[in-house]
């Protein structure tokens, strides 16, 4: 039995059929803020933000009190403070968050070995084999919530369902500090009234495209003829949305994490219009990506360029290579090619990013004729110098004397069905 309060929150409050729901999605509530409040209890019940305030700082996390003002993660801090002038801003401590994440993960792994972390504050669990020791899925979910609270002082929300997708949707509906079980035979009834934004892969742009077709709920999408949906969003996304709209997600919980991409991006302290300055940033970012590829023992087949203009328009361009690479110079050259025609005509850029995708292990088997051989040898030599003398010991001449921009790694693991144009705000 579940109930829904005046908001969109929905939680299980009584006996429910959980016999066909072995998948749990556990999501910590406002994780960064909640960790900070453990040492600042006087701030409980107040609008609290975690993030940077200097220059173009962004919101890393917002308390639920702050979210009532329309504040969410990844929002520029300046905008957040306009919406919520009385917000209390705290600087983040990633090491502390990592420690609490480790403690929570230990609780999960004491219940089942089938744990798939999605990020620092959420994970999937398959409890099929844990029933004999720990009870039914709903009982396990309840126990996990109680243990997290008792052993860390934090709260989490748990979705219990027959598939990963539905479990993730359910945990979001149960927030904050709730549990929602979706019986297997009620999956479609649960999904169909939800807005189309509940479908993985539907962000702001796709949502607008679907709205033009009169599709506002998951049920609307499920009832749409496949051919018409394909014309609107393309065959690949149409197939995915139709499957999800009917609760079809066959993916299993995987304990083997594979990085889907490795990238870096930079938000400039002031907008840039000079192509030479932008190219210098591309060179720096390409170097960072290449170093991380080599450390991970991976090569990338596709190079992706991300640009965000001063009006917040964001575009991406990709180039697929004949041979995968871990060479900064190749990544840089491809990124510059991808940027052709996008800057230099008065456009002002506030953010730029470079990402390597279609990763595969670097087995040393490069092409018979390797145009990057000299660059590859040089960069590996630089890796050795940096390992001995530290970061910054060697760098391209174009970057000497250049003040570093605020940069963020972009290698967060993504599931095949995850995505959308908007950041998650837990």
What does the block give as tokens for 175?
Answer: 């927030």
Annotated binding site: 27, 121
- Tell me how far apart the alpha carbons of residues 218 and 32 are, in angstroms, rounded to a whole number: 31
- Tell me how far apart the alpha carbons of residues 74 and 80 are, in angstroms, rounded to a whole number: 10
| Neighbouring C-beta atoms of residue 400, cutoff 10 Å | 8
- Yes or no: say if 71 and 50 are a contact pair by the CB < 8 Å rule: no
SS3 for the chain is: CEEECCCCCEEECCCCCCCCCCEEEEEECCHHHHHHHHHCHHHCCCCEEEECCCCCCEEEEECHHHHCCCCCCCCEHHHHHHHCCCCEEECCCHHHHHHHHHHHHHHHHHHCCCEEEEECCEEEEECHHHHHHHCCHHHHHHHHHHHHHHHHCCCEEEEEECCHHHHHHHHHHCCCCCEEECCHHHHHHHHCCCEHHHCCCCCHHHHHHHHHCCCCEHHHHHCCCHHHHHHHHCHHHHHHHHHHHCCCCCCCCCCCCCCCEEEEEEEEEEEECCHHHHHHHHHHHHHHHHHHHHHHCEEEEEEEEEEEECCCCEEEEEEEEEEEECCHHHHHHHHHHHHCCCCCCCCCEEEEEEEEEEEEECCCCCCCCCCCHHHHHHHHHHHHHHHHHCCCCCCCHHHCCCCCCEEEECCCCCCCCCCCCCCCCC
Task: Give the contacts of 316 (CB within 8 A, at least 6 positions apart).
Answer: 304, 305, 306, 307
Task: Find the catalytic residue in 36, 65, 116, 122.
Answer: 122
Let me know if 122 is a catalytic residue.
yes
Annotated binding site for Mg(2+): 27, 121
Beta-ladder partners of 354: 264, 305
Residues with catalytic function: 122
């Amino acid at each position: 039995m579940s109930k829904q309060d005046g908001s969109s929150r929905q939680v299980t409050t009584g006996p429910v059929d959980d016999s066909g729901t072995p998948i749990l999605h556990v999501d910590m509530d406002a994780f960064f803020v909640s960790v900070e409040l453990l040492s600042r209890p006087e701030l409980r019940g107040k609008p609290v933000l975690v993030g940077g305030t200097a220059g173009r700082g962004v919101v890393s996390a917002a308390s639920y009190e702050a979210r009532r003002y329309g504040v969410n993660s990844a929002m520029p801090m300046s905008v957040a403070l306009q919406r919520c002038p009385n917000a209390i801003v705290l600087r983040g401590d990633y090491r502390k968050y990592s420690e609490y994440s480790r403690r929570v993960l230990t609780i999960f792994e004491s219940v089942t070995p089938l744990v798939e972390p999605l990020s620092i504050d959420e994970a999937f669990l398959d409890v099929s084999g844990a029933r004999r020791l720990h009870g039914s899925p709903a009982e396990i979910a309840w126990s996990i919530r109680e243990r997290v609270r008792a052993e860390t002082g934090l709260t989490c929300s748990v979705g219990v369902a027959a598939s990963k997708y539905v479990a993730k949707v359910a945990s979001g509906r149960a927030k904050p500090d709730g549990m929602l079980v979706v019986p297997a035979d009620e999956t479609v009834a649960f999904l169909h009234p939800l807005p189309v934004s509940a479908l993985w892969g539907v962000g702001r742009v796709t949502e607008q495209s679907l709205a033009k077709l009169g599709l506002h709920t998951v049920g609307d999408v499920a009832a749409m003829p496949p051919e018409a949906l394909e014309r609107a969003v393309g065959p690949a996304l149409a197939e995915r949305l139709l499957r999800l709209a009917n609760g079809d997600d066959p993916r299993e919980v995987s304990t083997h994490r594979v990085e889907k991409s490795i990238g870096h991006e930079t938000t400039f302290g002031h907008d840039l219009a000079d192509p030479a300055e932008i190219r210098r940033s591309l060179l720096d970012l390409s170097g960072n990506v290449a170093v991380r590829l080599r450390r991970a023992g991976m090569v990338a087949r596709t190079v992706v360029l991300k640009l965000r203009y001063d009006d917040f328009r964001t575009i991406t361009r990709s180039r697929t290579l004949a041979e995968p690479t871990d060479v900064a110079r190749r990544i840089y050259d491809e990124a510059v090619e991808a940027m052709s025609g996008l800057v230099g005509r008065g456009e002002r850029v506030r953010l730029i990013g470079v990402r390597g995708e279609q990763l595969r292990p670097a087995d040393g088997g490069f092409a018979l004729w390797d145009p990057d051989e000299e660059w590859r040898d040089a960069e590996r030599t630089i890796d050795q110098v940096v390992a001995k003398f530290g970061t910054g010991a060697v760098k391209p001449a174009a970057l000497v004397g250049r003040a570093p921009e605020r940069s963020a790694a972009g290698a967060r693991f993504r599931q095949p069905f995850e995505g959308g144009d908007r950041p998650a705000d837990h």
